[in-house]
């Protein structure tokens, strides 16, 4: 298998700068020279970013980044790392250092102490292998390969510790328009916002432009001095900046060509894909472009798109970033495209990041007559909707089935490969669960699959075997919890919110291309499985929300709720702080009858121990152990069993081989090919049990009631000291397998 992969990925020839290199030595030299040139800084004019206002961390936060490294901090970072990643030039994987921690921790701590005091380490630790991964099948040009850095284990540990510190403060300096590498932000957020922007433009019948920009060799071409200026403006201290400079500038590279290192050279620009620090440094560099676009919007040079809902509030969205994937929204005018072009030119002069015009495109919204002229002004090509952004559909009507064609085609391609082989039913189930079922998950995280598509996918899987609502629900959970995220602000502005901001309002009007209306179809079941933890109580309804019981008090004590005066009051409003140590203000429209007093007492008993505090109200997921929404738990909730009792949990057991589970499943349904079923299929054989020779063979006889089988059952029952009469069928046996004898002895057997 390894030899086959090596032959498949062999670089026998390569096209560099339009010229084919065939000889082995030519290929090695050509690849090395190209990357050496790519990672060498151009000595040209560099724009000054001194007047650009970026976010800044506090002096206290800057000092906290420079504190001495603690042993538990380093060990924790080491254990977080994936030990199976390929090693760097030193040959030691992270797994080695994890296993050798007790033996090597003193030397590792000494290395960190040296780095803290002198901002340096042994230079050989930062030697790097560059491995070239094909971006597509049949890659020929050098540009068709993605360079991934294999750094040494100890340097990766150092960078991981620094990255863990950096990500604690990066939210202070990176704007909400950047959706990458910041806790609480996801790649799906940008896709959701982009589709809602297009939906707003189309429903208002306004013209606009979407500029999808691709940054050429983004990580490899960013200027180090530019990064240091950005860090300085963001308030990072001199020691931290010295650490960053040491990490990025001390690297030396060898290129792995057909598994053999070629060349050994330093670099003067760029960040390494594979270095834990690189993503965070890159998004901080992109913050300069974010500021430039925001200032252009404030000055009226770019307009963006104004999201408006039922209220008078509006929210302007001019751009979205996910690492180097950039999308800009502007007016369909030559002036605005020209201003954007100048912004990109200035940003390139400052940072070294150049827009790849061949891969960038300008997409018109509405009838834009001079679109070719606008594309020429920017330098990109003309695109159209529907398109793709971050691997997800952009501008596709959310009920269109065509967006799922790619998923269905990928499933069919996988099946075409598997059908060439003989695979048992147990093996087929394993492939369906491990591979086919996961193919649509990324798209299902934001788009609802139409029933017609779901039926086709299920039929494809069934055909292979025999011859999604839980993902959208997470958005409802996130809306209640993540109030400061950009996507939440977009949805709140466009559609509004209710219940003190815990949930969005229902979406009304035509479907369009916005995805939120479809997501809201999954809101009810998710909301029913959320509960509140009372703090101040200012955002929780006393009667109508779940906070002290599994169901709202209005349902627990319906007769009292009908009599309540303040049915929509919050917990805070129902609490009388002036009454001694505080008490509940329960006001009803009339006095209680004698038979209602027990109910009042039960209500007061329920409320005992609950009182408002100074903390904020919060929401929890009721189906999980720690109160956090989990896709797996939501799936189990939605995957309700059939009305017919079926012993699924006694058949599909994790520790039992799949083929054994599948046999038990077939036996439960009476589908095992015993002699009676073979006769039904036209096989002419006498039906006589091969074990006892007395009775006709069927699944219940051969597994339960045959005298030979009964002898085996008697042995098992004797081992666990149980007397039990076996039921008539296999299904009844599995359903009944939960008597008083079910315990440790049975589990051991």
Answer yes or no: is pLDDT of 236 > 90: yes
For residue 349 the two structure tokens come to: 């002069």
pTM across the whole model: 0.71
Distance CA 573, CA 542 (A): 9
φ, ψ for residue 316 (rounded to 5)? -90, 130
Distance CA 243, CA 266 (A): 18
Whole-number pLDDT of residue 561? 85
Candidates 518, 512, 519; CA nearest to 198 is 512
The chain-wide mean pLDDT, for the chain, equals 84
The angle subtended at Cα 328 by Cα 477 and Cα 179, nearest 5°, is: 35
- CA separation (Å) from 630 to 130, 236, 468, 481, 526? 37, 37, 14, 14, 11
Torsion angle, alpha carbons of 409, 411, 417, 423, to 10: -160
Distance CA 163, CA 574 (A): 47
Q: What is the pLDDT of residues 604-633, one digit of tens each?
A: 888 888 888 888 889 988 887 788 888 777
87 near 153, Cβ under 8 Å? yes
Lowest average pLDDT, out of 207-211, 415-419, 458-462, goes to 415-419
DSSP string computed for 416-480: HHHTTS---HHHHHHHHHHTGGGTTHHHHTTSPPPHHHHHHHHHHHHHHHH--HHHHHHHHHHHH
Answer yes or no: is pLDDT of 744 > 60: no
Tell me which of 329 and 583 has the higher pLDDT: 329
Lowest average pLDDT, out of 339-353, 492-506, 667-681, 726-740, goes to 726-740
Whole-number pLDDT of residue 1? 42
Candidates 159, 160, 168; CA nearest to 60 is 168
- CA separation (Å) from 11 to 301, 333, 340, 505? 48, 47, 40, 56
Tell me which of 3 and 462 has the higher pLDDT: 462
SS3 711: helix
Mean pLDDT of the region 158-176: 93
Distance CA 565, CA 551 (A): 20
Tell me which of 185 and 286 has the higher pLDDT: 286
SS3 131: strand
Q: What is the pLDDT of residues 72-130, one digit of tens each?
A: 999 999 999 988 888 888 888 899 999 999 999 899 999 999 999 988 888 888 999 99
As a three-state string, the secondary structure of 234-275 is CCCCHHHHHHHHHHHHCCEEEEEECCEEEEEEECCCCCCCCC
Q: Where are the domains of the chain?
A: 2-38+58-168+238-268, 402-467, 530-622, 648-748
Distance CA 154, CA 101 (A): 11
8-state DSSP, 704: I
Whole-number pLDDT of residue 5? 52
Distance CA 556, CA 547 (A): 12
For residue 320 the two structure tokens come to: 């979205």
Tell me which of 460 and 184 has the higher pLDDT: 184
Q: What is the pLDDT of residues 242-253, one digit of tens each?
A: 999 999 999 999
pLDDT confidence bin for 289, thresholds 50/70/90: very high
pLDDT confidence bin for 222, thresholds 50/70/90: very high
φ, ψ for residue 554 (rounded to 5)? -65, -25
For residue 284 the two structure tokens come to: 């901080």
Whole-number pLDDT of residue 664? 85
Those residues whose C-beta lies under 8 Å from the C-beta of residue 669, and which sit 6 or more positions away, are 731
Distance CA 615, CA 118 (A): 44
Mean pLDDT of the region 639-667: 73
Distance CA 719, CA 521 (A): 54
């Amino acid at each position: 298998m390894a030899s086959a992969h090596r032959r498949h990925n062999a670089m026998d020839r390569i096209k560099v700068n339009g010229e084919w290199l065939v000889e082995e030595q030519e290929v090695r030299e050509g690849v090395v020279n190209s990357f050496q040139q790519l990672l060498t800084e151009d000595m040209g004019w560099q724009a000054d970013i001194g007047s650009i206002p970026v976010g800044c961390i506090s002096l206290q936060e800057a000092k906290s980044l420079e504190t001495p490294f603690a042993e538990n901090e380093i060990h924790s970072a080491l254990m977080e790392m994936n030990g199976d990643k390929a090693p760097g030039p030193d040959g030691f994987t992270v797994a080695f250092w994890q296993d050798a921690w007790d033996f090597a921790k003193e030397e590792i701590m000494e290395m960190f102490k040296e780095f803290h005091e002198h901002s340096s380490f042994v230079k050989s630790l930062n030697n790097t292998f560059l491995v070239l991964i094909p971006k597509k099948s049949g890659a020929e040009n050098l540009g068709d390969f993605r360079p991934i850095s294999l750094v040494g284990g100890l340097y990766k540990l150092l960078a991981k510790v620094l990255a863990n510190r950096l990500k604690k403060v990066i939210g202070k300096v990176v704007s909400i328009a950047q959706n990458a590498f910041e806790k609480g932000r996801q790649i799906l957020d940008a896709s959701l916002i982009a589709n809602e922007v297009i939906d707003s433009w189309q429903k208002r019948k306004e013209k606009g432009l979407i500029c999808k920009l691709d940054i050429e060799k983004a990580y490899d071409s960013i200027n180090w001095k530019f990064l240091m200026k950005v860090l300085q403006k963001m308030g990072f201290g001199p020691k931290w900046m010295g650490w960053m400079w040491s990490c990025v500038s001390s690297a030396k590279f060898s290129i792995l060509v057909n598994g053999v290192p070629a060349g050994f050279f330093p670099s003067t620009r760029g960040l390494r894909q594979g270095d834990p620090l690189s993503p965070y440094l890159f998004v901080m560099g992109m913050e300069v472009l974010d500021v430039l676009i925001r200032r252009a919007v404030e000055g009226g040079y770019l307009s963006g798109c104004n999201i408006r809902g039922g209220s008078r509030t509006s929210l302007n969205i001019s751009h979205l970033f996910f690492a180097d994937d950039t999308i800009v929204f502007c007016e369909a005018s030559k002036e605005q495209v020209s201003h954007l072009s100048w912004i990109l030119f200035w940003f390139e002069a400052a940072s070294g990041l150049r827009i790849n015009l061949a891969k960038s495109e300008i997409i018109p919204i509405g009838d834009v007559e001079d679109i070719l002229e606008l594309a020429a002004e920017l330098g990109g090509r003309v695109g159209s909707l529907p398109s793709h952004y971050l691997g997800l559909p952009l501008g596709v009507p959310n009920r269109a089935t065509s967006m799922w064609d790619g998923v269905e085609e990928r499933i069919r391609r996988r099946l075409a490969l598997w059908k060439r082989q003989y695979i048992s039913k147990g093996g087929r189930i394993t492939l369906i669960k491990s591979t086919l079922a996961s193919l649509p998950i990324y798209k299902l995280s934001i788009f609802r699959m139409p029933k017609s598509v779901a039926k086709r996918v299920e039929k494809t899987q069934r055909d292979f075997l025999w011859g999604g609502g839980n993902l959208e629900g997470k958005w409802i959970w996130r809306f209640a919890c993540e109030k400061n995220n950009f996507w939440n602000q977009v949805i709140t502005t466009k559609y509004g919110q209710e219940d003190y901001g815990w949930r969005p309002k229902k979406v009304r009007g035509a479907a369009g291309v916005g995805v939120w209306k479809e997501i809201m179809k999954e809101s009810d079941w998710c909301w029913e499985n959320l509960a509140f933890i009372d703090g101040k109580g200012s955002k929780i309804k006393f009667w109508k929300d779940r906070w002290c019981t599994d169901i709202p008090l209005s349902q627990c004590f319906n007769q009292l709720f009908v009599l309540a005066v303040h049915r929509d009051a919050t917990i805070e409003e129902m609490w009388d702080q002036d009454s001694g140590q505080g008490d509940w203000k329960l006001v009803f429209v009339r006095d209680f009858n004698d038979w209602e007093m027990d109910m009042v007492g039960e209500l007061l008993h329920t409320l005992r121990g609950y009182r408002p505090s100074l903390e904020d109200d919060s929401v929890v997921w009721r189906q999980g152990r720690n109160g956090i929404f989990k896709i797996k738990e939501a799936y189990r909730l939605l995957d309700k069993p059939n009305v017919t009792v079926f012993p699924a949990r006694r058949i599909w057991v994790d520790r039992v081989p799949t083929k054994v589970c599948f046999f038990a499943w077939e036996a439960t349904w009476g589908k095992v090919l015993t002699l009676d079923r073979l006769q039904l299929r036209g096989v002419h054989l006498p039906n006589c049990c091969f074990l006892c020779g007395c009775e006709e063979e069927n699944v219940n006889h051969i597994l339960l009631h045959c005298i030979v089988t009964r002898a085996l059952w008697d042995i098992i029952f004797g081992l666990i000291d149980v007397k039990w009469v076996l039921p008539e069928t296999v299904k009844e046996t599995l359903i009944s397998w939960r008597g008083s004898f079910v315990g440790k002895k049975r589990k051991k057997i």
